[in-house]
Amino acid sequence: MATLRALRKLCQQSQHQVCSLHMSASRQEAVVISGRKLARQIREEARADVEQWVSTGNRRPHLSVVLVGDHAASHSYVLNKTRAAADVGISSETILKPSCISEDELMDLIYKLNTDHRVDGLLVQLPLPEHIDERRVCNAVFPGKDVDGFHVVNVGRMCLDQSTMLPATPWGVWEIIKRTGIPTLGKNVVVAGRSKNVGMPIAMLLHSDGRHERPGGDATVTISHRYTPKDQLRQHTRIADIVVAAAGIPNLITADMIKEGAAVIDVGINRVHDPLTGKDKLVGDVDFEGVRQKASFITPVPGGVGPMTVAMLMKNTIKAAKNLLLTPPERIRMVASS
């Protein structure tokens, strides 16, 4: 009889242990995707590509960055870009202009850089002062040198699933998803944010046809924006397999809005006051600690999408150098003058 009771107790303990193991497995935290690690891989690929390009007798790719004003974050971003260029073997220059520069003066500078055969990639760091029309400036950059992918021609080609200069941040998000092995075919995706430089291109890349010239993700994509009621957004995110947060709103996406096992890509970069340190800190659009308890994959801020943006910019600069070799100088002058 004592032996029987001992066996029963042993079975109960075993069942409790199995149950505990099951519960701990179901509550396993998300895999935190290291954007820095992926970016290092891409930069290694870029470095090898540059060296192969130069070894066959071609000129080293050159990136020109125009930086207007004293915006601290912009100066930091540009420094990261020029450091990355040096790391992969791309030569670069930063052209500093005061915030009082006129729009016409900036347009003249862009024209000169467009027609300079030594310049392969050209970007004008955003944001620009309020008196300058950003859309006019973006469209002034020759499409073949437009490493930001903001020119209307490049945006149009992207929307038509054609090969082109993809915007660096959306392309970085796409590479995170693809290289991590997160499936997109037939999946539900929510993109929170509809900006023309980030949210919209991400949605285009994820929903477009995987059989086309510029393959897409074949996902079903929902885009939300500032006028989407929070309850309605929650309804969409709760059934989403992938949530991409790119709205610029801290803690927009919380744990109660995510289904178990979803992949969450946080594109947001927000500076908020940290009451513990008394200093500002960077956070994304996602409640990282809460959401990681339910998601299967999640990107951190910082260290997630940011490094990927810079890495994809290097890829675009190399692509520009190769494309420009096939572009007659008179065509560049003609487009730059139009």
What domains, with CATH codes, occur in the chain?
Answer: 60-148 (3.40.50.10860), 164-307 (3.40.50.720)
Alpha-carbon distance 138 to 136, whole Å?
A: 6
Q: What is the dihedral of CA 201, 207, 208, 214, to 10 degrees?
A: 50
Beta strands in the chain (DSSP E): 31-32, 62-68, 91-97, 121-124, 188-192, 220-224, 242-245, 263-266, 270-274, 279-283, 297-298
What is the structure's pLDDT at 76? Answer: 94
Nearest to 35 by CA among 223, 208, 177, 205: 177
Total-model pTM:
0.88
φ, ψ for residue 143 (rounded to 5)?
A: -55, -35
Tens of pLDDT along the chain (338 residues) come to: 455 455 455 445 544 443 433 333 445 899 999 999 999 999 999 999 999 999 999 999 999 999 999 999 999 999 999 999 999 999 999 999 999 999 999 999 999 999 999 999 999 999 999 999 999 999 999 999 999 999 999 999 999 999 999 999 999 999 999 999 999 999 999 999 999 999 999 999 999 999 999 999 999 999 999 999 999 999 999 999 999 999 999 999 999 999 999 999 999 999 998 888 888 899 999 999 999 999 999 999 999 999 999 999 999 999 999 998 877 666 666 666 66
Cβ contacts of 196 within 8 Å, gap of 6 or more: 155
Residue type, 159: C
**Helix, strand, or coil here: 2?**
helix
Alpha-carbon distance 164 to 214, whole Å?
A: 8
**Residues tagged active-site:** 81, 125, 148
**What is the Rg, in whole angstroms, of the alpha carbon atoms belonging to the chain?**
24
Q: Which two tokens stand for residue 293?
A: 């308890």
Strands of the 263-266 sheet, one edge to the other: 31-32, 297-298, 263-266, 242-245, 188-192, 220-224
What is the structure's pLDDT at 27? Answer: 55
